[in-house]
Structure 1
Amino acid sequence: MPPVTFRASETFASSPAHAFATVIEAPLPAIFDRRHLALPPIREVRDQTGAWSRPGQTRTIVLSDGATMHERLVTVQEPDRFDYELTGLSGPLGLLVRRVEGRWAFEAAGGGTRVTWTWQVHPRSPLTRPAVLALRVLWGGYARLGLERVGGLVGG
């Protein structure tokens, strides 16, 4: 069963290198500190294996509703992109989603940087696919809030 793509972008007055370094190093609760409808904010990150900079590093993300997910950094191509995978999702999201392949991409755009956040969401089953498609709409609002915080961090 093919994944469902979620994508959001925003352009900031920053270089790709600065935007990349800021986002990869930012504490997740500083970016995702606000709820959007049914999607809770990130409360904390646990068990991070060093600075978030090398493929293979892992951490556990804890949401404000107590749900957790395991994140593994897959690829780092500075200053263009970094990829990660979310597995072991618990809580409501875990009922719908088997895993997520995420990417943050940074490309020069009109004197600034276009930051694009993408999720490839793998539904748990064909029965959960319609709910994942509906989740894409909620995620768009959550992503917009996160990208607002990114803009504040990178100066754009």
Structure 2
Amino acid sequence: MVSVPTTVTASIAAPRAVLYEWLILRVFTNELDTILRDAPGFPGVTHTTGTTNLWNVPGATRIVHLSDGTSSRETVTAASTPDYFAYRLTEFSSRRLRLLVREAKGQWWFTDEGTGTHAKWTYTAESRNILSAPLLVPVMKVFWNRSMRQALARIKARAEKEVGGTAE
């Protein structure tokens, strides 16, 4: 198996603790469909079901449903307010995705940047096998990275409007 990571970052004019709570406990918990939308090559989130606990509790799980009718299981693997949040995706119902990816992991780091926050999101897909790795690299580095940049831009715009502080 080969790990294929891709990373996006943003400076967000909102205090770190407030941003973290808003993002994890509101947006990631109940409004995931507002930030992870359809993009070329990737279906967007339509809703989640079966959430087992608060979304900042390691071990909490849910099913994420996508606009193409597929789904996957998402599990919180770490949550350290207001610095770090991580999750894992498994049980992909998409046949194409199952052929490429064994699992995927998302990680978010939040650090102070002036009066605002520097957010870093890394997403790493583990290839199903060595043969799927060459196909997975452009999918992750080009197409999924583009979707991540769009999602982070939506997060930044909403956060600065809804919970923003005085950061520049």
Normalising by the smaller structure, the TM-score range is: over 0.9
Distance 1:63 1:101, change over 3 A: same
Q: Offset at 1:67?
A: 1.2
Give the counterpart letter for 1:100 in structure 2.
A
- Deviation per CA, 1:49-107, whole angstroms, max 9, x where unpaired? 13212111000001100111101101111000111111111213222110011111111
**Matches of 1:59 and 1:29 in 2, distance apart?**
14
Aligned to 2:39: 36
Aligned to 1:3: 3
> TM-score under structure 2 normalisation?
0.87
8 Å CA contact 1:80–1:105 kept in 2: the answer is yes
- Deviation per CA, 1:4-47, whole angstroms, max 9, x where unpaired? 11111111101111121121121211211x22211111011010
Q: Which has the larger radius of gyration?
A: 2
- 1:73 aligns with one of 71, 76, 86: 76
Aligned to 1:142: 147
8 Å CA contact 2:2–2:133 kept in 1: the answer is no
8 Å CA contact 1:8–1:117 kept in 2: the answer is yes
Give the counterpart letter for 1:15 in structure 2.
P
Q: Secondary structure at the match of 1:66?
A: coil
Runs of 4+ in 1 over 6 A off after TM superposition: none
**Matches of 1:94 and 1:42 in 2, distance apart?**
18
**Matches of 2:63 and 2:73 in 1, distance apart?**
5
Q: Secondary structure at the match of 2:58?
A: coil
**Matches of 2:76 and 2:12 in 1, distance apart?**
24
Aligned to 1:103: 107
Give the counterpart letter for 1:13 in structure 2.
A
Q: How well do the aligned residues superpose, as a CA RMSD in angstroms?
A: 1.3
- Deviation per CA, 1:100-141, whole angstroms, max 9, x where unpaired? 111111111233111111112100111110111011210111
8 Å CA contact 1:22–1:153 kept in 2: the answer is no
Identity of aligned residues (%): 32
**Matches of 2:71 and 2:131 in 1, distance apart?**
23
> TM-score under structure 1 normalisation?
0.93
Number of equivalenced pairs = 155
